[in-house]
Structure 1
Amino acid sequence: MYDLKLRGERASILADALLSVPTRPYQKRSLEAALGLFLDLKTKKALHRAHTVSASALSRLLNVYEWDTSECWASLVQAQWDALLLAARRRHHPRLRLCVDLTSVPKTGRDLPFVRVYNEVYGLHLVVLYAVYRDLKFPVGYRVYRGKGTPSPVRLALDLLTTVPAEVSHRFDVWVLADSGFESAAFLQGVRDLGFDFVVGVRSTRRTDHRGHVTVADCEHGSWVNLANWPWETLTLARVDRGERTFFSVASHLLSGDIVAREGRQRWAIESFFKEAKHGFGLNRFALRTAQGLDRWVLLVFAAFTLSMLCRADTLSLEQAAEVAARVALPLLVVQRLALQVWREEEFLRQHGYSLTLSRCKT
């Protein structure tokens, strides 16, 4: 109970830090309304659905107004790492899992920023770093893949991993989890250069250093292998059968195949986040036409998800946690929403003999 109360306080502190960044009162009101909108998982994310401010005001907040988005990002990421470090205090060798993956958001139209075709999907392509420790899960960074001739998803993923604070690297036993899209030797070496361990998916055709044409598909579950183009460390191979398909992964630790497979399954946490971010928090609703608008839209998605995670208890769904987060972090906005709802029904109440007055108590 105390831990949950402390997290609620951290959610309130984080919201105050974000809202303190805009210098103008009207910008602060718009940012507060935007956060409230993104915390309302029952409402589709469209600017005209926000309470207390107009759609044009939100559009100017996201696309035009000069407020320091980087300061908001810094406050958000610092709050996330602080929450993870606090949760791990007094624990011996806590394991932090850093999942990296690329998600594509299909889009139509050619005026949106960074829209490209990749993996046969026309849209936005985001490489995301997702931190998981016990029941705490946060998206701690992202990069946009901009297409051929720009840094690859592997390079972007490694760039994200370099942003992990030294305090976190020293406190946690850090494991990087990724699918076969990140199986390249450059990625494996980059992770090891950072001092992290990994469990990474590999294709069945990935060759080993055995004589002849021996691939991982020819090796047994739990066997120790050296990859042909990255022979510097012996890895543990895991095979996982799912219906007619078999998936392979390698770990930088010499463990049993079952442990490697179990660890690899933890990567699905980021897939759950992608689903929730797109369909609950509005990541797939992005329709702004500026790069700054995209960055601020993603900021709101990540911030709303983080506030919800900080307020989530075992018995609460993510939607319920988002409602709690709104009440904890944005109480005045919730009161304004309730007041607007009441005033919309004023005529109905009058017809039935009711007169309603709202007043604020002094505390």
Structure 2
Amino acid sequence: MESILVHAQALVYTLLGLMPTAYQRDSLQALLGLFLEAQGHPLPEHSVIKSAAALSRFLNHYDWSTRSVIRSVRQQIVQELLGACHRGRRPWLRVIVDLTTLEKCGKFIGFAHLISVLQGKRGLHLVVLYLVVGEFRVPWGFRVWRGKGTPSAAQLAVRLINTLPKNLMQAYRVIVLADTAFGSVEFLKAMRKRRYPLIVGVRCDRKLSDGRQVCSLVKQGQQVRLEGLSFPVTLGWLYLKRDGKFEKRFVLSTRPLKASTIIWWGRKRWSIEGFFETAKHRFGLHRFGQQTLNGVYRWFVLCLVSFILAHWVYLSTGSSTLPDWGASATLAMKLLLPEIVVCLLLVYLEQTRPLFQSLGLELQLVEVKT
């Protein structure tokens, strides 16, 4: 587990090295420090190290390569995943895709074309690709669904899956897990063409080739043909508790599996929901307030990088309990951004100087020579 901490440190050093100037390196550290406070509101105006204007310019206007940052993060992810794949039977790589909404009010002139309404929610709708291997889980990428008349969520999901490197897909046994929104004929055919087994939710009123609906089935594990599909799928269902009541959810598999296996994999999809909650309410994914598309894009990228760093530091502790994201993020900042921790401490001490003076004490910092 120590190696993953080394990868986290290497990633931070690499990202800082991508910044063209020392001023921008300081801004990047300040922003990562804001995200790693993990209080859910990493807004630039809350920074005590850099001004809100400086951080805004860094996100919206400064010329640094966002693509290089993404490329560096993905290289570290692939390196860590390949290093964890030992000889013997290949482990499962869960490739999970889902759609989440970042609700927004008001006008956003710089990216108004990206704001749309979906299921009564107005905002940015992100299709996210999430990778899970055992306790290791990372967001790989995202695309913005732009509304009707544009590429569908399923089409965007296919594009995201296509970005996964071949050596990674060959090292693992891959299974794709997806929500009902991705149960289109096009998505099913795309996964079958790539030979990836798919477990995906399906609507209860989805029609079969014989005219019946999915909800009319009484036996789990049946192989049926959906309307518009040329190959059979296997259906099962599970019950999820919602508002004190149990809802029946149908799940299909493109591979002939037992109903119990389909249900087991179907439940595994929900791990991405926990990620969405953490990314939003701990790391502030939805709290972007930038007025340019570039600024919003960079906000998403740095937020997800902060999640990855906190998760890797948590894994390095070897803990078997559920992660305390606040504690993990705090530890990540101490281990990976010690300069930010020292700066925050100095600012706090300066703010408390009047208190020391009122008690007849004087605070001095003395250099320790070694």
Please give the range of the TM-score, normalised by the shorter of the 2 chains. over 0.9
Q: Which runs of 5+ in 2 are unaligned?
A: none
Aligned-residue CA RMSD in angstroms?
1.6
Matches within 5 A, 1:89-238: 89-90=86-87, 92-111=89-108, 113=111, 114-209=114-209, 211=210, 213-219=211-217, 220-232=219-231, 234-238=232-236
Read off the aligned partner of 2:222 and give its amino acid letter: S
Which runs of at least 4 in structure 1 moved beyond 4 Å after TM superposition? 359-363
Change (3 A) 1:360 1:329: farther
SS in structure 2 of the partner of residue 276 of structure 1? helix
Aligned to 1:283: 285
TM-score normalised by the chain length of structure 2 = 0.92
Confirm or deny: 8 A CA contact 1:104 1:124 kept in the other structure.
yes
Confirm or deny: 8 A CA contact 2:40 2:283 kept in the other structure.
no
Match of 1:66 among 63, 78, 93: 63
Change (3 A) 1:195 1:361: farther
Determine whether 1:319 maps to 2:326.
Answer: yes
Confirm or deny: 8 A CA contact 1:101 1:127 kept in the other structure.
yes
User: Cα deviations across residues 298-342 of structure 1 (Å, max 9, x unaligned)?
Assistant: 011110000011011334412111111111111111111112111
Change (3 A) 1:43 1:215: closer
TM-score normalised by the chain length of structure 1 = 0.94
Q: In structure 2, what is the Cα distance between the partners aligned to 1:360 and 1:189?
A: 66
Q: CA deviation at 1:13?
A: 0.8
Match of 1:352 among 339, 351, 359: 359
Confirm or deny: 8 A CA contact 2:40 2:281 kept in the other structure.
no
Q: In structure 1, what is the Cα distance between the partners aligned to 2:34 and 2:369?
A: 28
Report the identity percentage.
35
Q: Which runs of 5+ in 1 are unaligned?
A: none
Paired residue total: 357
Aligned to 2:25: 28
Read off the aligned partner of 1:254 and give its amino acid letter: P
SS in structure 2 of the partner of residue 97 of structure 1? strand
Read off the aligned partner of 2:227 and give its amino acid letter: A
Read off the aligned partner of 1:314 and give its amino acid letter: S
Read off the aligned partner of 1:72 and give its amino acid letter: V
